[in-house]
Amino acid sequence: MLVGSLAGYTGSARQSVYGAVKAFSRVFAEGLWLELRDHDVDVLELVLGVTRTPAMERAGLNFDIPGLNVGEPDDIAREGLAHPADGPVWVAGGNASAAAKRNGADRAKLVLGAHEAMSRLLPTSP
Ligand SMILES: NC(=O)c1ccc[n+]([C@@H]2O[C@H](COP(=O)([O-])OP(=O)(O)OC[C@H]3O[C@@H](n4cnc5c(N)ncnc54)[C@H](OP(=O)(O)O)[C@@H]3O)[C@@H](O)[C@H]2O)c1
């Protein structure tokens, strides 16, 4: 199982490398899933949305934005462990429509929209 992110669906400022790595991970998982399915090996990219983990607490994420879908780590881990054979990609925490929305063709509109949402989520740098 590889741990992915909604951040892997659009580029984001100050997280260019992180988002790109997560995009790589998802496509890598899809390839491995194809290569290994004839060997009865499950491959799953578990895509997370915002999840209340120690790292995110440390980063100072604003979890209190009205309407923000925040996953709890235990729930997300349990969901992933329940779906090893549902690869190549499982979007956890009720974020499937958010992932689908980020896959559109108008990249400027989508990237700017995601950037605006991220700006509300992350504290501004000093
Ligand atoms: N939290 C979110 O909102 C969110 C959203 C999307 C995707 N994700 C993804 O979820 C995964 C976990 O993130 P997280 O938020 O849970 O972060 P986290 O709270 O910092 O947890 C990261 C975990 O990885 C371990 N770790 C870090 N560096 C390591 C290394 N070099 N070797 C072995 N273990 C190492 C840490 O171990 P120690 O505790 O021992 O340091 C910790 O258990 C990441 O792949 C992240 O990209 C998280």
CATH code assigned at 52: 3.40.50.720
pLDDT digits (tens, 9 = 90+) for 11-59: 999 899 999 999 999 999 999 999 999 999 999 999 999 999 999 999 9
Best mutation site among 53, 69, 79, 89 for ligand 1 pocket (most ligand atoms within 8 Å of CB)? 53
Residue 39 included in any domain:
yes
- For residue 70, the 8-state DSSP code is -
Give residue 35's Cα distance to chain centre: 23
Enclosing domain of residue 72: 2-121
Distance 56 CA to ligand 1 centre (A): 9
Distance CA 59, CA 90 (A): 25
Residue 126 included in any domain:
no
Residue 117 included in any domain:
yes
Residue 108 included in any domain:
yes
pLDDT of residue 123: 73
What are the φ/ψ torsions at residue 91 (nearest 5 degrees)?
A: -90, 115
Residue 62 included in any domain:
yes
The pair of structure tokens assigned to 31 is 């390839």
Best mutation site among 17, 25, 48, 118 for ligand 1 pocket (most ligand atoms within 8 Å of CB)? 48
Residue 73 included in any domain:
yes
Residue 23 included in any domain:
yes
42 — alpha (psi -120 to 50), left (phi > 0) or beta? beta
Q: 73 pLDDT band (50/70/90 cuts)?
A: very high
Q: How many domains does the chain have?
A: 1
The pair of structure tokens assigned to 1 is 């199982």
Residue 97 included in any domain:
yes
Radius of gyration of the chain (CA): 15
